[in-house]
Amino acid sequence: MGLIGSLITVLLAVLGAGYFFFGGSSSAPLTVTNDMSLLATYEGLHRYEEVRDQALDVKDLVQENVKETMDSADAPVLSEVSETEKATAPEKENSAIQIMNRLMNSGFSVPGKPRTIDTVVLHSSYDLNGTDPYSVSGIIKEYEDYGVSAHYLIDRKGSIYRLVENKNVAYHAGVSKMPDGRQNVNDFSIGIELMNTQTGKFTGAQYDAVNNLIASLKKQYPIKFVVGHSDIAPGRKTDPWNFDWKKVK
């Protein structure tokens, strides 16, 4: 019972002594029922306060540990990566080239089985609707509007953008026929778009990029043919405009 119990014991002893000395005739017999109830209530309250204080101590300790962890140099730093940053993150295809993903959500289909790829088709295009004919975003928006796509787009500086994964069928060739008689060229080909207008010339950086990209594709697939859109859709298509085929290795 501790100190409180000792004090109550002394008090009871004093009261008992007073009762003995004064004969006990002038007061009612002493009872300790109410005193013991009060004591029990006090001890219960005291125990509750002890538990509460311990809980508060634990809470303070947890808060201090959390603060120390967040303030420490080793604490993890969370950051968000925007969709644009994800889209333009460079991806190394091999030691020679870098390819940036700008994957489209339309203009292609997912085949039911792995594709057999042996053909590369070269195209040229530019943004007809915007103020900058060589805007990557403008050209992709135009593809989306028409429901078409290519696997790759090469800008004027020679940067390569992946628009559709090689495993998927990009809608770049349309109604087409190979010199060997095969049709539905989209099914077995990779389409590469190079930025250029109908009267413009391709840059040296674009020729370097397309040669590096074709060389990379040849390491992945048994490429037998590299043709222009006009070769597989004569009379309907004339691109790639002003392309110097002698510069293709």
Counting Cβ atoms within 10 Å, is residue 85 exposed (0-12), middle (13-18) or buried (19+)? exposed
Looking at residue 7, its pLDDT comes to 40
Residues carrying an active site annotation = 193
pTM, rounded to two decimals? 0.64
pLDDT, mean of residues 105-117: 97
Q: Has residue 14 got a pLDDT over 80?
A: no
pLDDT for residue 17 is more than 80: no
49 vs 115: which has the higher pLDDT: 115
Residue boundaries of the structural domains of the chain: 2-71, 83-247
Q: List pLDDT tens digits, range 19-40.
A: 333 344 344 443 344 444 433 4
What pLDDT, on a 0 to 100 scale, did the predictor assign at position 96?
63
The Cα 243–Cα 206 span in angstroms is 11
Which two structure tokens, joined as six digits, stand for 47?
Answer: 């125990």
Amino acid (1-letter code) at residue 23: G
Partners of 192 in beta bridges: 122, 152
CATH for 83-247 (3.40.50.10490, 3.40.50.880, 3.40.80.10, 3.40.50.2000): 3.40.80.10
